Amino acid sequence: MRTVDFSPLYRTIVGFDRLANMMDTASKLEGGSGYPPYNIEQTDENEFRIELAVAGFSEDDLELEVQENVLTVAGKRDRADEDTSRTFLHRGIAERGFERRFHLADHVQVRDAELKHGMLTVRLEREVPEAKKPRQIAINGQSKSGAKLIQGGKKSAA
């Protein structure tokens, strides 16, 4: 496993400590298991979909939780429900417990989740509040057309 040193970033970025910490944490976590396999797809400018292959898990075996911009998907099989009368010659479908975390960008919300044919699909949507969207800033209180900006419902005097 190759280790990446992010310490130079801490010296050159201001106010992005959270981003640098996330990259550092992600680099440490990615060395783990690739189970279950997953896809992340951008379906529209502000819509995303995460698909996880969770063969052998039912809705009752899966748990989804969002806390502080981290989506956690966990799967746990109750071994008491397992059919002991079956004899496997090869067991390639893992069905083992797992926990997979996805760090969500600011303003990304989980809309819904669906389990169908062994695929768990989680739909995400980015909703940027009006206050966070780009806006034009007037210089010296004038718009680009040269008209004075209206402040408090009245035109300001020239």
Span 35-81+89-134 CATH architecture: Sandwich (2.60)
For residue 5, give Cα distances in angstroms to 27, 29, 59, 67.
10, 14, 40, 27
What is the full per-residue pLDDT of the chain (158 aa) written as tens digits?
566 676 666 666 556 666 666 666 665 555 457 889 999 999 999 999 999 999 989 999 999 999 999 999 999 987 766 678 889 899 888 778 999 999 999 899 999 999 999 999 999 999 988 888 888 888 887 766 665 555 554 444 54
Structure tokens, 7? 């310490």
* Verdict on whether the full-model pTM lies above 0.75: no
Contact residues for 14 (Cβ-Cβ < 8 A; gap 6+): none
- In angstroms, the CA 137 to CA 80 distance is 64
Taking the domains of the chain in order of start, what are their residue ranges?
Answer: 1-32, 35-81+89-134
- In angstroms, the CA 71 to CA 40 distance is 13
